[in-house]
């Protein structure tokens, strides 16, 4: 898969992330601010690494995004009384993660372990958002992030998706925005 549709495409990819960083910087406070900003920085680093477009770089991009998701997990994890709808969203994310793994495992080859670890991490991120403070914007952001990364995985390992870069970036940027905006808006 070509994650680099044109030379220096990482510049176009990180500009929206920089704008979202500004949103986080100006609207969040305390620990959540630090965690969301750190997640966005690791996402931008991942975008740059994936733009290097070498197979050897993909694993480093994967690691950078996995770290970003860990910071999102910390930002959204909250101890509180859960509502049934939150449990439904969490269960749907878990079922999707399991289904994606079942479909992809036969096609992953040498990337089996890194991709499965990443799948567990991104699913955990989505579950932590679903079980966090009841915020549907952030849940939608988590869903779009899972969808964006699923498009990458399915396009790379399972079936070529027409216009994949359009669909991937068309879900990725709204995902980042909604996770950030949803972290402080109800």
pLDDT mean for each 10 residues of the chain (186 residues)? 61 92 95 97 93 79 97 88 90 98 97 97 97 90 98 95 93 97 84
Average pLDDT, the chain: 92
pTM higher than 0.85 for the full model? Answer: yes
As a residue count, the chain comes to 186
Tell me how far apart the alpha carbons of residues 135 and 83 are, in angstroms, rounded to a whole number. Answer: 12
| Residues whose CB is less than 8 angstroms from the CB of residue 107 and which lie 6 or more positions away in sequence, other chains included | 157, 158
DSSP string, 75-138: HH----PPPHHHHHHHHHHHHHHHHHHHHHGGG-GGGHHHHHHHHHHHHHHHHHHHHSSS-HHH
CA-wise closest residue to 183 among 36, 37, 34:
36
**Residue 11: predicted pLDDT:** 84
**Residue 1: predicted pLDDT:** 45
> Helix (H, G, I), strand (E, B), or coil: what is residue 163?
coil
Tell me how far apart the alpha carbons of residues 20 and 173 are, in angstroms, rounded to a whole number. Answer: 9
Tell me how far apart the alpha carbons of residues 138 and 57 are, in angstroms, rounded to a whole number. Answer: 29
**Residue 3: predicted pLDDT:** 55
- Supply angle C-alpha 136, 27, 172, rounded to 5: 50
Tell me how far apart the alpha carbons of residues 78 and 64 are, in angstroms, rounded to a whole number. Answer: 24
Tell me how far apart the alpha carbons of residues 159 and 103 are, in angstroms, rounded to a whole number. Answer: 11
Contact 122, 111 (CB under 8 A): no
């Amino acid at each position: 898969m070509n994650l680099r549709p044109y030379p220096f495409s990482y510049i176009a990819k990180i500009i929206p992330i920089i704008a979202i960083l500004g949103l986080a910087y100006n609207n969040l406070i305390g620990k959540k601010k630090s965690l969301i900003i750190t997640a966005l920085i690791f996402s931008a680093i991942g975008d740059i690494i994936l733009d290097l477009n070498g197979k050897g770089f993909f694993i480093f991009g994967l690691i950078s995004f996995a770290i970003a998701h860990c910071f999102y997990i910390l930002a959204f994890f909250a101890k509180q009384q859960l509502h049934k709808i939150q449990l439904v969203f969490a269960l749907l994310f878990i079922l999707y993660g399991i289904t994606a793994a079942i479909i992809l495992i036969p096609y992953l080859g040498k990337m089996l372990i890194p991709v499965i670890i990443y799948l567990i991490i991104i699913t955990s991120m989505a579950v932590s958002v679903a079980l966090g403070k009841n915020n549907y914007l952030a849940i939608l952001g988590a869903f779009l992030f899972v969808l964006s990364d699923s498009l990458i995985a399915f396009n790379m390992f399972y079936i070529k998706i027409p216009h994949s870069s359009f669909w991937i970036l068309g879900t990725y940027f709204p995902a980042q925005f909604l996770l950030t905006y949803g972290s402080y808006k109800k």
